[in-house]
Amino acid sequence: MLGADDVKVSAGDVEDQRFSDSRFGGLTIELKLTGSAVGDVKALRTRLKSAKDDKGLLLYKPAKDEKAVEFEEFSSDRHPGPSIHLLSPSRDASAVDVAADVELFIPGRDPNTRQKFDGFLGRRDKPLSSPVLKAARVEITPLSPAAYKTRQQANRPTREQITAEGKKHGASDEEIKQAIGMMDALASLNGEEPSATSILIEAKDPDGKVISIDVVKADGSELHAPSRGSSGGQESKLMKIDLSETPPPDAVLLVTLRTAKSIVTVPLNWKEVALP
């Protein structure tokens, strides 16, 4: 059984951009993974605990919602590798200390991480049935184009809602105008009509258990997806996967999700990581 001792995480390249204006700049430390099991790691995420420079300045503010920290896909031949992003150190700092947990997703540890749904194209607009998904509090629903458009409209905030929310938080008229413009721009980007090669999905994943959702042929061979788009959050996300070809009727939906057995946690306790 693979464990934390089979993968080591050390500090790789350090990129330091220090500016006098605290709104800009920042520190990026690459995660360098080594060990016999690195090739088995398919995704990871880093949960920071603390970070400070040698002048005592704190470089990390805890996220309001730790569930929002998502896994990112990992490959041992990907360069640059995953990174930790911190606030900008003091101008005269020369080193930093970092404490964190790196969670490694190793699907080979648990066969339940890969859930296959045959013939899903013939069961649109109904949630997929699976005890594993249910236990993970995940709901996946393949959608017809009509249902997808209906959900798009229902999930899109109106200008009135954006204005009311902005005024509630003390935003200026100009800031509210910019927010409405951004919403219109995003709606335009996500408003492309689904085609015969589009796979449309609604995913409800409040605990962030889903690593990926893919479409494959019945024999398990890949259906290439050159374009993907999504909107919403973990509570309800709409996804559009545009394949390079029309999917066959017996296409299979492959849902990869993390389970307790599939996660290995590697603690980090870096001392005096030198700044460039």
Q: Per the structure, how many domains does the chain have?
A: 2
Based on DSSP, count helices (H) and strands (E) in the chain, helices before strands.
4, 14
User: What phi and psi values does residue 182 have, to the nearest 5 degrees?
Assistant: -65, -40
In a domain, 163, yes or no: no
In terms of C-beta density within 10 A (0-12 exposed, 13-18 middle, 19 or more buried), how is residue 122 classed?
Answer: exposed
In a domain, 248, yes or no: yes
Looking at the fold, whether 269 and 254 belong to one and the same domain comes out as no
Looking at the fold, whether 27 and 117 belong to one and the same domain comes out as no
DSSP 205-267: -TT--EEEEEEE-TTS-B----EEEEEE-SSSEEEEEE-SSPPPTT-EEEEEE--GGGEEEEE
Looking at the fold, whether 232 and 104 belong to one and the same domain comes out as no
In a domain, 182, yes or no: no
Looking at the fold, whether 29 and 84 belong to one and the same domain comes out as yes
User: What phi and psi values does residue 249 have, to the nearest 5 degrees?
Assistant: -60, -30
Looking at the fold, whether 16 and 131 belong to one and the same domain comes out as no
pLDDT for 21 equals: 47
Specify the amino acid at residue 81.
G
| pLDDT tens per residue across all 276 residues of the chain | 445 568 888 888 888 876 544 445 689 999 999 888 899 999 999 999 999 999 999 998 876 655 567 888 898 887 778 999 999 898 899 999 999 999 999 999 999 999 999 999 999 999 999 999 999 999 999 999 999 988 887 766 667 767 777 777 777 888 777 777 776 666 555 556 788 999 999 999 999 899 999 999 999 998 999 999 888 777 888 999 999 999 999 999 999 999 999 999 999 999 999 998
Closest CA to 211 of 103, 76, 84, 72: 72
Structure tokens at 202: 């609604």
Looking at the fold, whether 127 and 241 belong to one and the same domain comes out as yes
In a domain, 186, yes or no: no
Looking at the fold, whether 45 and 92 belong to one and the same domain comes out as yes
Looking at the fold, whether 34 and 147 belong to one and the same domain comes out as no
In a domain, 164, yes or no: no
Question: How many other CB atoms are there within 10 angstroms of residue 166's CB atom?
Answer: 18
Inter-CA distances, 105 with 11, 74, 179, 190, 235, Å? 20, 9, 36, 30, 22
Parent domain of 90: 4-109+261-274
In a domain, 174, yes or no: no
Looking at the fold, whether 29 and 71 belong to one and the same domain comes out as yes
| pLDDT tens for each residue of 147-163 | 998 888 776 666 776 77
In a domain, 172, yes or no: no
In a domain, 165, yes or no: no
Looking at the fold, whether 115 and 22 belong to one and the same domain comes out as no
**CATH code of the domain covering residue 88:** 2.60.40
Looking at the fold, whether 17 and 133 belong to one and the same domain comes out as no
Looking at the fold, whether 222 and 145 belong to one and the same domain comes out as yes
The half-sphere exposure of 136 on its side-chain side, counting CA atoms within 13 A, is: 28
